[in-house]
Copies of this chain bind each other. A is one copy, B any other.
Amino acid sequence: MNKTILLNKRPVGKPQLTDFKFVMEEMPKTSTDEVLLKTLYVSVDPYLRGRMSDAKSYTEPFQLQKPISSGIIAEVIDSKNEKFNKGDHVSGLLEWKEYQKSNGTGLLKVVGTKASLSAYLGILGMTGLTAYLGLTEIGVPQKGETLVVSGAAGAVGNVVGQIGKILGCRVIGIAGTDEKVELLKTKFNFDEAINYNSTENMSEAIKQACPDGVDIYFDNVGGEISDAVLFKINKFARIIVCGAISLYNETSLPVGPRIQTLLLKNSAMMKGFIINDFVKLFPEAINKLSKLLKEGKLTNTESIVEGFDNIPQAFLDLFEGKNKGKMIVAV
């Protein structure tokens, strides 16, 4: 039998375990040109929260009582498709199932030891691409500029900071625990890091950490943390709106300071960044990221949770900030 996770209910506010349903189904049978895949690693990402709603967004909503899908690394355990051999490893947008079949569309062969395969869900996958392309294509960092990253210990955030340092920026991270702050400064080479949970006056903390103001803000969280940063932007600042995890579970659009006057006074730009708009740049970006990883200039950090049954909980934990780096479930 084959275990599958369906979207049971559309979450209202913060997702609950009861929004998911485990069902057992027959093992899939492959036909001509199909491969049978065994799930090895499952990526859980904040953006999936958006697809669980039926509101208009940049991706189609998941359907109720149908399997959820996300980035997955799988092993080909049977192949009737000449492009894939038994034993190959592939990455793709696949369903939350222990086993599934595919005609190969959208599957990408990945090569590595089993231990390093998960990097294709992280620093060499959407996460790394989002960090690299968001920062370079919209942020356009110049040497000596100040870059602030929110959600800095998260999957995308830590990579943004590392790349910012490589490009010669002064990098300040914002995260939610002392442990994460320590990690940012020691392991990821950030110049400064701020724990927003223990900081009473974020505005003052940003001011102290950024004596020359903020030139680039890579925003993964939105909300009040971002307000504090936006009040310190410099002339011609660029703000990359990459995520808004603090807002994903809100049932209506929350209110905050109107930022238009801040943008106006500073000739600043704020732009929404969706990685799918930059597909043409993926091959070159993956090459660059692989090179940096091999040279030891980039560190890949994962929070790995064991067990297929723990996929929903791992997803919920994202909203509690329990992950450091990329959250992955090893099946």
Contacts and interface: CB of A to CB of B under 8 A. Distances in A.
Interface of A: 56-58, 219, 222-223, 226, 235, 241-244, 247, 253-274, 277
A264 B248 CA distance: 12
Contacts of A264: 58, 241-244, 272-274
Chain B CB within 10 A, most for which of A223, A247, A259, A266:
A259
Nearest to A268: B272
A270 B271 contact: yes
A272 B263 contact: yes
B254 A258 contact: yes
A244 B270 contact: no
A256 B254 CA distance: 8
A268 B269 CA distance: 11
Contacts of A253: 257-258, 261-262
Contacts of A58: 235, 264-267
Contact of A255 (B242, B255, B273): B255
A235 B226 CA distance: 23
B256 A258 contact: yes
In the complex, the 10 A-B pairs of residues with the closest C-beta atoms, listed nearest first: A263-B272, A264-B272, A269-B271, A253-B257, A256-B258, A255-B255, A241-B260, A241-B264, A222-B260, A270-B270
A264 B49 CA distance: 14
B255 A257 contact: yes
A318 to B, nearest CB: 17
Best-surrounded residue of A57, A257, A264 (most CB of chain B within 10 A) = A264
A268 B271 CA distance: 6
Given A271-B269, A272-B268, A258 B247 contact: yes
Contact of A222 (B255, B258, B270): B258
Of the listed residues A235, A242, A259, A270, the one surrounded by the most CB atoms of chain B closer than 10 A to its CB is A270
Contacts of A255: 255-258
Contacts of A226: 260
A275 to B, nearest CB: 10
Contacts of A263: 241, 270-272
Given A58-B265, A267-B274, A257 B260 contact: no
Given A247-B261, A255-B255, A258-B247, A270 B267 contact: no
Contacts of A270: 260, 263, 269-271
Given A58-B264, A242-B264, 10 more contacts: A58-B235, A247-B258, A260-B272, A262-B272, A263-B272, A264-B274, A266-B272, A267-B274, A268-B271, A269-B269
Contacts of A274: 264, 267
A224 to B, nearest CB: 10
B277 A272 contact: no
Nearest to A264: B272
A235 B58 CA distance: 8
A10 B253 CA distance: 35
A267 B257 contact: no
A221 B20 CA distance: 45
B258 A267 contact: no
